[in-house]
Amino acid sequence: MEQYKVVVCDHIHEAGLEMLQNDPQIDYVFAADIDKTALLDVIADADVAITRSSTDVDAKFIAAAKKMKAIVRAGVGVDNVDIEGCSKEGIIVMNVPTANTIAAVELTMTHMLSCMRMFPYSHDHLKNQRIWKREKWYGHELKGKKLGVIGFGNIGSRVAIRSKAFEMDVIAFDPYINASKVTDLGMTYTENFDDILACDIITIHTPKNQETLNMIDKEEIAKMKDGVVLINCARGGLYNEDALYDGLKSGKVRFAGIDVFIKEPATDHPLLELDNIVVSPHLGANTFESQYNIGTQAAQQAAEAAKGIAYPHAFNLPIDESKIPPFVKPFLEMGQKLGFLASQINKAPIVSIKVSGGGEIAEYLESLATFATVGAMAENTGDTVNYVNAEFIAEERGIKVEVEDTNVASPYKNIITVKLTTEKQALSISATIFEDDVQRIVDMDGFEVDVALKGNMIIFKNTDVPGVIGNVGTILASHDVNISDFRLGRNDKSEALAVILLDSDVTDAALDELSKLDACISVKAVRL
């Protein structure tokens, strides 16, 4: 009977350890208490490692793990895992995305109640200071208050359901879901973020990415009603911490409940100086039930991965290159990029994803569709979508995924098109690969272009009139944004489309100024 070595690098629930111990094919090594430098020797011949936040899967770890097939991150976040580095070495990275859902939901409700009734402070007053002063602790009720929920996924939706049971008026903002997911629960769905900012209490439940980092900053807080209560039990940095501090200090934000910080441990954080904040040390997963679920699910995934049975919740399931020609892999990567790009341009609940292709690549459209689906859903599902579950998540969300062999004459040897249809519009992007794996967009919604598929971009659609290119360049220059490439396409409707590559990010102020040009039809900033 073949043996597989699984190293547990951080503490998990005993039930998970017992599962590994009792599996006759698993050579289980508990290494949670050893020095992280010594750990590198232990993982040298390991097939699978189970890690948590205490172990960084960095370049040193990956270099030491010479035989490793997979890494199971026992939890949701994979911020401390170098996924790209693992991919280069053929190491599959998996997580346990739903094991702590209820724990995170209930912690959010705890923070909400604590902020409204100041329980931690009244507790300290009586328990530690031995002062009985009831009149000092008048709070507010949840009933009748308007709750704004940002992100209506597994956790946000459950927080909303529990809040409705408190007779709160719940309004949700999530541009990546169908509105009926909210309205069917008797709640209000909004596409206007200002509706959220007008709420009495705001709680955020989004993944952390470039779109959501500092999603609530000083400008958003300024728009909020005086005395708003803010909750964050999701990811540090979704609220700009400096802006939150200023809001709490001024009283604009009456109270905040915070479980997560940008840098942890946050034992000397300025927010801790304030007396109108309730804090906890990242306890979202800290229930016995949650730890049991995380431990047992991580152990099961590790055993399955070690034996090559399955790779559930894999972020980077590698391709069996022995079964496909070498030219296919770059197209798969490109398909994912096209899906990701289309989802940024066409932001709305997705209805369908269609992948078509011409040339030899058309034989691999099913695989291309999987990669394109992962890319298209990556922005709105955060850590949950991967190559294994993309089809199931799409089906769950009512997203139709289809493929089509175009089989028509084309100047390109191989070409793929990703058509993303949302509730607002449809968008098609075609691309090909030239020699040396150079990926190029060749068509965007009927506009012929030729531009590299990389970097920061502006997609600017306008009426085809003189002076537009000069105006665009002048505006970007005034905002210190340098153009690295400018590609223009035109159609027979007197419209033009510019794909502009930039050397840096573009500010909202610059985009706003571009949108006010008379010729502008639409403008979007995207990144790859």
331 shares its domain with 467? yes
For residue 241, give both structure tokens.
Answer: 């911490």
pLDDT of residue 5: 97
Please state, in angstroms and rounded to a whole number, the distance separating the CA atoms of residues 25 and 407.
49
Confidence band for 84, pLDDT divided at 50, 70 and 90: confident
Please state, in angstroms and rounded to a whole number, the distance separating the CA atoms of residues 458 and 483.
10
Alpha helices in 149-264 (DSSP H): 154-165, 180-183, 193-197, 218-223, 241-250
pLDDT of residue 154: 87
Phi, psi for 338 (deg, rounded to 5): -65, -40
pLDDT of residue 318: 64
Nearest in space to 147 (alpha carbons), one of 287, 257, 274? 257
The residue ranges of DSSP E strands in 117-273, in sequence order, are 146-150, 169-173, 188-190, 201-204, 228-232, 253-258
117 shares its domain with 266? yes
Summarised one tens digit per residue, pLDDT across range 90-146 is: 899 999 988 899 999 999 999 999 999 999 999 999 999 999 999 999 999 999 999
Task: Report the pLDDT averaged over residues 190-207.
Answer: 96
> Who contacts 226 (Cβ-Cβ below 8 Å, separation ≥6)?
251, 252, 254
Task: Tally helices (H) and strands (E) across the chain.
Answer: 17, 22
User: Which residues pair with residue 528 across a beta bridge?
Assistant: none
- 93 lies in some domain: yes
Summarised one tens digit per residue, pLDDT across range 19-59 is: 999 999 999 999 999 999 999 999 999 999 999 989 999 99
Task: Report the pLDDT averaged over residues 357-375.
Answer: 92
Q: Which region among 35-39, 209-213, 477-481 has the lowest average model confidence (pLDDT)?
A: 209-213
294-to-33, 231, 305, 342 alpha-carbon distances in Å: 19, 24, 16, 34
Query: Range of 498's domain?
Result: 321-527
Query: What's this model's pTM, rounded to 2 decimal places?
Result: 0.79
> Who contacts 220 (Cβ-Cβ below 8 Å, separation ≥6)?
193, 197
Q: Is 444 exposed, middle or buried (0-12, 13-18, 19+ CB in 10 A)?
A: buried
77: CATH = 3.40.50.720
pLDDT of residue 373: 93
Phi, psi for 128 (deg, rounded to 5): -100, -40
- Our answer to whether residue 264 is catalytic in this structure is yes
Nearest in space to 55 (alpha carbons), one of 10, 101, 119, 103? 10
Q: Of 73, 205, 254, 282, which is the active-site residue? A: 282
- Our answer to whether residue 13 is catalytic in this structure is no
Number of separate domains in the chain: 3
394 shares its domain with 439? yes
349 shares its domain with 428? yes
pLDDT of residue 390: 83
Last residue of a domain, one of 279, 296, 330: 279
Summarised one tens digit per residue, pLDDT across range 305-353 is: 998 888 888 888 766 656 778 788 889 989 989 999 999 999 899 999 9
Residue 384 has pLDDT above 70, yes or no: no
Please state, in angstroms and rounded to a whole number, the distance separating the CA atoms of residues 437 and 115.
54
Confidence band for 248, pLDDT divided at 50, 70 and 90: very high
Q: Is 226 exposed, middle or buried (0-12, 13-18, 19+ CB in 10 A)?
A: exposed
Nearest in space to 194 (alpha carbons), one of 143, 232, 148, 151? 148
Please state, in angstroms and rounded to a whole number, the distance separating the CA atoms of residues 227 and 253.
5
Q: What is the mean pLDDT of the chain?
A: 93
pLDDT of residue 327: 86
- 239 lies in some domain: yes
- 406 lies in some domain: yes
Task: Report the pLDDT averaged over residues 80-97.
Answer: 89
pLDDT of residue 322: 60
Residue 382 has pLDDT above 60, yes or no: no
Q: Which region among 136-145, 232-241, 258-267, 385-394 has the lowest average model confidence (pLDDT)?
A: 385-394
pLDDT of residue 319: 64
> Who contacts 100 (Cβ-Cβ below 8 Å, separation ≥6)?
75, 76, 284, 285, 287, 290, 293, 294
68 shares its domain with 111? no
Give the gyration radius of the chain's Cα atoms. Answer: 25
Task: Identify whether the C-beta of residue 132 lies closer than 8 Å to the C-beta of residue 155.
Answer: no
- 419 lies in some domain: yes
User: Which residues pair with residue 57 across a beta bridge?
Assistant: 81
- 250 lies in some domain: yes
pLDDT of residue 436: 66
> Who contacts 336 (Cβ-Cβ below 8 Å, separation ≥6)?
371, 372, 374, 375
**157-181 burial string, b = 16+ CB within 10 Å, else e?**
bbbbebbeebebbbbbbbbbbbbeb
More confident: 329 or 284: 284
Confidence band for 381, pLDDT divided at 50, 70 and 90: low
**293-325 burial string, b = 16+ CB within 10 Å, else e?**
bbbbbbbbbbbbbbbeeebbbbbbbbeeeeeee
35 shares its domain with 107? no
Task: Specify the 3-state DSSP secondary structure of 189.
Answer: strand
Please state, in angstroms and rounded to a whole number, the distance separating the CA atoms of residues 179 and 36.
47
Q: Of 52, 111, 205, 235, which is the active-site residue? A: 235
- 178 lies in some domain: yes
pLDDT of residue 412: 87
- 313 lies in some domain: no
CA-based end-to-end distance of the chain? 46
Sole residue written with tokens 């590559």: 501
Confidence band for 522, pLDDT divided at 50, 70 and 90: very high
216 shares its domain with 334? no
How many residues appear in the chain? 528
Laid out side by side, the sheet with 447-452 consists of 400-405, 350-358, 415-422, 426-434, 438-444, 447-452
- Residue percentage of the chain with pLDDT more than 70: 98
Summarised one tens digit per residue, pLDDT across range 509-518 is: 999 999 999 9
More confident: 397 or 524: 524
- 314 lies in some domain: no
293 shares its domain with 436? no
For residues 409, 410, 413, 419, the Cα torsion angle rounded to the nearest 10 degrees is -110
For residues 169, 171, 177, 181, the Cα torsion angle rounded to the nearest 10 degrees is 20
Laid out side by side, the sheet with 26-30 consists of 26-30, 4-8, 48-51, 70-73, 92-95
Please state, in angstroms and rounded to a whole number, the distance separating the CA atoms of residues 49 and 6.
6
For residue 245, give both structure tokens.
Answer: 């501090």
Summarised one tens digit per residue, pLDDT across range 264-281 is: 999 999 999 999 999 999
330 shares its domain with 297? no
469: CATH = 3.30.1330.90
Residue 435 has pLDDT above 80, yes or no: no
134 shares its domain with 260? yes
Nearest in space to 10 (alpha carbons), one of 39, 38, 47, 51? 51
pLDDT of residue 335: 93
pLDDT of residue 278: 98
111 shares its domain with 130? yes
Residue 383 has pLDDT above 60, yes or no: no
328 shares its domain with 385? yes
Q: Of 167, 264, 273, 363, which is the active-site residue? A: 264
- Our answer to whether residue 513 is catalytic in this structure is no
Summarised one tens digit per residue, pLDDT across range 495-508 is: 999 999 999 889 99
